Amino acid sequence: MFDRRKFIKTSALSAGLIVVSKNSIAEVLPKTIGSNINKPIVISTWDFGVAANADAWKVLSKNGRALDAVEQGVWVPEADESNQSVGYGGLPDRDGKVTLDACIMDELGNCGAVLALEHIKHPISVARKVMEKTPHVMLAGDGALQFALEQGFKKENLLTPASEKAWKEWLKTSKYEPVMNIENKLYDKAAPQKLPGNQYNHDTIGMIAMDAKGNLSGACTTSGMAYKLHGRIGDSPIIGAGLYIDNEIGGATSTGVGEEVVRNVGSFLVVELMRQGYSPEEACKEAVMRIIKKKPETAKNIQVGFLAMNKKGEYGAYAIQKGFSYAVCDSSKQDLVIKGKSYY
Ligand code: ASP
Is 2 inside any structural domain?
no
Q: Ligand 1 centroid to 201 CA: how many Å?
A: 9
Whether residue 13 is predicted with pLDDT greater than 70 in this model: the reply is: no
pLDDT, averaged across the chain: 87
pLDDT band at 265 (very low <50, low <70, confident <90, very high): very high
Mark 95-112 as b/e (b = at least 16 C-beta within 10 Å).
Answer: ebebbbbbbbbbbeeebb
Distance in Å, CA 46 to ligand 1 centroid: 12
Query: What is residue 190's predicted lDDT score, i.e. its pLDDT?
Result: 55
Q: Is pLDDT above 90 for 10?
A: no
Cite the active site residues: 204
Among protein residues, the one whose CA lies closest to atom 4 of ligand 1: 258
Distance, in Å, from the CA atom of 2 to the CA atom of 61, rounded to the nearest integer, reads: 41
Q: What is the pLDDT of residue 22?
A: 37
User: What is the tally of structural domains in the chain?
Assistant: 1
pLDDT for 180 equals: 64
Task: Tell me which residues have their CB closer than 6 angstroms to ligand 1.
Answer: 202-204, 222, 224-225, 234-236, 255-258
- Over residues 54-99, the pLDDT tens digits come to 999 999 999 999 999 999 999 999 999 988 899 999 999 999 999 9
197 in any annotated domain: yes
Q: What pLDDT was estimated at residue 44?
A: 98
| Tens digits of residue pLDDT in 305-339 | 999 999 999 999 999 998 899 999 999 998 899 99
Q: What is the pLDDT of residue 203?
A: 86
- Atom index in ligand 1 nearest the CA of residue 236 equals 1
- Using CA atoms, how far apart are residues 101 and 98, in angstroms rounded to an integer? 10
Say which residue, 115 or 35, is predicted with more confidence.
115
Looking at ligand 1, which atom is closest to the CA of residue 242?
1
Where does the pLDDT of residue 182 fall: very low under 50, low under 70, confident under 90, or very high at 90 and above? low
Instruction: Name the pLDDT band for 2 (thresholds 50, 70, 90).
Output: very low
Q: What average pLDDT does the segment 26-46 reach?
A: 70
In a domain, residue 24? The reply is no
Q: Is the pLDDT of residue 51 over 50?
A: yes
| d(CA 76, ligand 1 centre) in Å | 18
What's the CATH code of the domain at 256?
A: 3.60.20.30
In a domain, 5, yes or no: no
- Residue pair 179/166 in contact by the 8 Å Cβ criterion: no
In a domain, 18, yes or no: no
What percentage of the chain exceeds 70 in pLDDT?
83
Residue 4 lies in a domain: no
Q: Specify if 1 maps to a domain.
A: no
For residue 19, tell me if it sits in a domain.
Answer: no
Comparing CA positions, the residue from 105, 54, 36 lying closest to residue 313 is 36
Our CA dihedral for 211, 318, 191, 86, rounded to 10 degrees, sits at -60
In this prediction, residue 201 carries a pLDDT of 73
Instruction: Using the predicted structure, report yes or no on whether residue 256 has a pLDDT greater than 50.
Output: yes
Domain carrying residue 179: 35-342
Q: What is the pTM of this model?
A: 0.86
Q: Do 93 and 99 touch, CB atoms closer than 8 A?
A: yes
pLDDT (tens digit per residue) in 279-291: 999 999 999 999 9
Closest to 25 measured CA to CA, from 244, 276, 311: 276
- What's the pLDDT score for residue 185? 53
